[in-house]
Structure 1
Amino acid sequence: MKPWVPGEIVVDPNGPEPLYSQVARQIGAAIEDGRLPNGARLDNELDLAARLHLSRPTIRQAIQSLVNQGLLVRKRGVGTQVVRTKVARPLRLSSLFDDLSELGDKPESVVLVNQVEPAGDEAIEQLETPGLTHVRRLKRVRSTGGEPLAIMNNYLPDGLIDPSDEELRDKGLYQLLRSAGVRLHAAQQNVGARQATEEDAELLDEKPGAALLTMRRTTYDESGKVVEYGWHVYRASRYSFNLSLTNNV
């Protein structure tokens, strides 16, 4: 793939916005709207600086800011390339599998745990079922385009569904629940952040200590019973949540 020529970038040396920020913003816009597709290469810093009549440090700072945002990556022997942009996921009662499919991506999963085990105190508390004796525990790594996005952990009451590893690779959890006749109704969800552990880093292709988004969700059916509890971590460099806010005053 030939390097991208930044013919549309216009900088204003007298404007209030720093020059590197003007360059980064316009390259970022080209990535977001598809003019710079995944895998596209940028000219090297010297060529970009010459084309835009800017200094090399200015171009380096612009590129570094996009690298920090997860939009560009530097590869030895290849140069600077566009990487897959963030998955922007709306906060609604849907699975990551559903949302990726709607965006036109092909979700991929590696199943790490799919087993029935005795229900511990945490599982009983989170599933809000005091007499529960066994739960199904799931742990998967969800990817798209060959890039890992999230580690998905779930507890479900034993007997609700009995998915094979193949089904968990090919379908989303909510899809499997709906196919089993479970009528999903509502969920309580908490979004937060933490740093990547050694295990997180290995599974998500990040560095230990990298920023991760976290989500905990308790999902209820139409009768008000808990059908699943999930605790997931997402790569902050590749993922974001979208919220819609309304004024009810």
Structure 2
Amino acid sequence: MPDTIAEQTTLPSELFMDIDRSGPIPMYFQVATKIERAIADGTLAPGARLENEIALGERLGLSRPTVRRAIQELVGKGLLVRRRGIGTQVVQRPLTRKVELTSLYDDLERGSKHPGTTLLTREMIEADETIAEMLSLPKGSPVLHVRRVRSSDGVALAVLENFLPQEFADISEDDLKTRGLYQLMRARGTLISVAHQRIGARAASHEESELLDLKPHGPVLTMDRTAYNNNGKAVEFGRHCYRPDLYAFEITLVNN
């Protein structure tokens, strides 16, 4: 399951000290502007959960409708999001990922994010026809099947499913919880040289919707990738899905 829900963040009262209660600027707009500024300067970090409307209104001496409209103003701007069972959170800054031979874990670390992993599955299975074809193995060959939820700064970002040849069977649960898959492969002397991938979109499954905190069967971005080492051997096949509001692929096109 995704990481633990963040504690509520109480906005400092001094943030609202210069609100003009008798001027022409609507109160909700002033409150929204103050909260937006707190998001911009990092007082409210991505993923922070705001105190509820009633508590904030009582603390500031404002009506609940005023606070609600201020919050809704920021929801409309894409700065806040309301989540079922969680409350109002500051939106995580979307990760824009260049389509390169890197792993999501590596990209998050490079972007000064804090990658986290929840391991769902680690098992040896027999390759079915599809997996065998992708890894250029005989059907029924033993392969390592791994499935994880990858988070960024505590917010679930992707569900990652991977299949690897038997030579990687020694990759442990602890390895998978603490390091990226490509890091683990590099540590075993395997360098990814070429990959073929397909990017798409589909409706999330019921389980994926829960793991990624999406509306039931909401849209997800998808990427299927087969990676090859410098000898041309297939060493990994992955099927991944990503939250579309927090993730995007970036591709540079060149006219030859």
- Specify if TM > 0.5: yes
Partner of 1:65: 76
Task: Specify the alignment match of 2:235 in structure 1.
Answer: 227
Q: How many residues are treated as equivalent by the alignment?
A: 219
C-alpha separation between the residues in 2 aligned to 1:130 and 1:79? 50
SS in 1 for 2:96: strand
Q: 1:85 aligns with which of 86, 89, 93?
A: 93
Aligned to 1:52: none
Query: Which whole-Å CA distance do the structure 2 matches of 1:176 and 1:212 have between them?
Result: 27
**Amino acid paired to 2:101:** L
Structure 1: gaps spanning 5 or more residues: 8-19, 47-54
| TM-score normalised by length of structure 1 | 0.74
Partner of 2:6: none
- Using the alignment, how far apart are the partners of 2:181 and 2:76 within structure 1? 36
For the 8 Å contact 1:40–1:81, the answer to whether it is kept is yes
Q: What is the rounded CA distance, in whole Å, between the counterparts of 1:129 and 1:32 in structure 2? A: 51
Cα 1:89–1:35 change in 2 (3 A) is farther
What is the TM-score normalised by the length of structure 2? 0.72
Task: Answer yes or no: is 1:2 the counterpart of 2:11.
Answer: yes
Q: Contact between 1:126 and 1:229, CA under 8 Å: does it hold in 2?
A: yes
Unmatched runs of 5 consecutive residues or more in structure 2: 1-9, 19-28, 58-65
Partners of 2:123 and 2:144 within 8 A in 1: yes
Q: Give the secondary structure class of the aligned counterpart of 2:93.
A: coil
Please say if 1:143 is aligned against 2:151: yes
Amino acid at match of 1:2: L
Residue in structure 2 matched with residue 10 of structure 1 by the alignment: none
How far the C-alpha of 1:90 sits from its partner, in A, is: 1.6
Q: For the aligned residues, what is the CA RMSD? A: 3.4
Does residue 129 (structure 1) correspond to residue 137 (structure 2)? The answer is yes
- Alignment of 1:247 with 2:245, yes or no, is no
Distance 1:124 1:177 in 2: 20
* % same residue: 38
Q: Which 4+ runs in 1 deviate beyond 4 A?
A: 29-36, 55-62, 78-81
**1-structure distance, mates of 2:139, 2:208:** 33
**Partner SS state of residue 159, structure 1:** helix
Matches within 5 A, 1:33-182: 37-38=45-46, 39=48, 62-66=73-77, 69=78, 71-74=79-82, 81-130=89-138, 133-182=141-190
Q: CA deviation at 1:197?
A: 1.4
**Mapped partners of 2:162, 2:184: distance in 1:** 13
CA deviations 1:51-95 (Å, max 9, x no partner) are xxxx999977743433xx5x412379x985422221222211111
Matched AA of 1:141: V
- Distance in 1, Cα, partners of 2:204 & 2:99: 23
Question: How far off is 1:131 after superposition?
Answer: 6.3
SS of corresponding position for 1:188: strand
